[in-house]
């Protein structure tokens, strides 16, 4: 056997051995499974309270088994703030239905990275009247903020079945009062609802059990009202009995009417016994008994006790 043959043989054997080792390493790497969103939460010490809450509410399987999820995961410090706000000592002190709805309010049934969020509302997995998904308000500027209270502190922790964004406050389900208060398009309406001259407690009503449908005038709607009345330049200029009658006329009690339930000619009875009529002949509109025709500008902001639709003019009873 020649020396040249032996060298060639040994070289080939070495290359074969290296190839075997490389294949072995590939096999090992194939065995390493990426975590799903439930495992991401479970393995994160700063999210241990959220993990425990999921287990307590029997929602751990929701995170493990769903194929496409966005999870907004509150930190342990966020839960401490929640306990203080609710005046409780632990998760066990929170009423079970409230805990479950609150946790579902942190889940979206689709995968959204930080780049996917815009200034809009998204549907959560939490359900309100008629089993309709609650709305999550998203604001995007230098940071991402949910429902005016929770900032993303760590974004885009990717799992096999979705993504986790860590947030600094717990997102309690919004009622109509907080939906209005959180939306800057309704800042004048919010001021009107909280006017200290009221004998009618609007904030208590809109925080109550409902269900309600609230046709909410935007700031532009109030600006038009002020412009049309020479003596009114602000909410404080409107006589309180007039202001109350205006506001009550925008609230339909006992029904959560989303856009899909609008029917041309449908009569709606408001909180003060007045009537407004849905018109669909020229887009979604409302007609009043004073012959107003008012555009519905955007719809279906869903809260735990009712739904808000924005309108372009103040309804005059």
Measured CA to CA, the distance from residue 229 to residue 314 in angstroms comes to 12
Answer for the pair 152, 117: CB distance below 8 angstroms, yes or no.
no
From first to last of its 317 residues, what are the pLDDT tens digits of the chain? Answer: 454 444 444 444 444 444 444 444 444 445 567 899 999 999 999 999 999 999 999 998 889 888 899 999 999 999 999 999 999 999 999 999 999 999 999 999 999 999 999 999 999 999 999 999 999 999 999 999 999 999 999 999 999 999 999 999 999 999 999 999 999 999 999 999 999 999 999 999 999 999 999 999 999 999 999 999 999 999 999 999 999 999 999 999 999 999 999 999 999 999 999 999 999 999 999 999 999 999 999 999 999 999 999 999 999 99
Domains in the chain, please, with CATH? 37-167 (2.30.180.10), 176-311 (2.30.180.10)
Please tell me the distance from the alpha carbon of residue 235 to that of residue 254, in angstroms, as a whole number: 28
Classify strands 251-253 and 69-74 as parallel, antiparallel or unpaired. unpaired
74 and 170 in contact (C-beta within 8 Å)?
Answer: yes
Q: How far is Cα 247 from Cα 215, in angstroms, rounded to an integer?
A: 9
3-state secondary structure 270-308: ECCCCEEEEECECECEEEECCCCEEEEEEEEEEECCEEE
First-to-final CA distance of the chain: 109
Strands 275-279, 306-311: pairing kind: unpaired
- How far apart are the C-alpha atoms of 165 and 142, rounded to whole Å? 16
At 29 the pLDDT is 45
For residue 39, with 0-12 CB atoms within 10 Å meaning exposed, 13-18 middle and 19 or more buried, which class applies? middle
Strand ranges for 95-149 from DSSP E: 107-108, 120-127, 133-140, 144-146
Is-contact 50 73, C-beta < 8 A? yes
Answer yes or no: are the C-beta atoms of 70 and 112 closer than 8 Å: yes
Output the pLDDT for position 23.
46
């Amino acid at each position: 056997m020649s020396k040249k043959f032996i060298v060639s043989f040994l070289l080939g054997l070495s290359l074969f051995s290296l190839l075997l080792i490389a294949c072995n390493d590939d096999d090992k790497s194939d065995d390493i499974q990426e975590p799903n969103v439930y495992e991401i939460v479970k393995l994160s010490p700063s999210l241990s309270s959220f993990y425990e809450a999921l287990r307590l509410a029997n929602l751990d399987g929701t995170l493990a088994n769903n194929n496409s999820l966005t999870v907004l995961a509150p930190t342990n410090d966020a839960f401490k703030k929640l306990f203080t706000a609710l005046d409780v000592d632990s998760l066990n002190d929170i009423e079970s239905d409230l805990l479950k709805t609150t946790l579902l309010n942190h889940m979206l049934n689709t995968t959204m990275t930080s780049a996917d969020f815009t200034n809009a509302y998204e549907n959560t997995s939490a359900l309100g009247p008629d089993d309709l998904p609650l709305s999550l308000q998203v604001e995007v500027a230098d940071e991402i903020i949910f429902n005016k209270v929770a900032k993303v502190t760590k974004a885009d922790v990717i799992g096999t079945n979705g993504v986790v964004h860590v947030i600094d406050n717990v997102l309690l389900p919004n009622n109509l009062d907080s939906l209005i208060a959180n939306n800057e398009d309704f800042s004048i309406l919010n001021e009107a609802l909280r006017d200290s001259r009221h004998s009618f407690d609007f904030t208590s009503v809109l925080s109550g059990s409902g269900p309600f449908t609230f046709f909410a005038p935007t700031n532009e709607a109030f600006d038009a009202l002020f412009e049309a009345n020479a003596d009114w330049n602000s909410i404080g200029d409107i006589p309180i009995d007039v202001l109350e009658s205006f506001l009550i006329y925008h609230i339909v009690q006992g029904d959560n009417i989303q856009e899909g339930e609008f029917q041309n000619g449908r009569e709606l009875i408001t909180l003060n016994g007045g009537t407004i009529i849905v018109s669909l002949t020229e887009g979604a509109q409302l007609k009043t008994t004073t012959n107003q025709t008012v555009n519905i500008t955007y719809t279906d902001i869903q809260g735990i006790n009712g739904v808000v639709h924005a309108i372009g003019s103040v309804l005059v009873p």
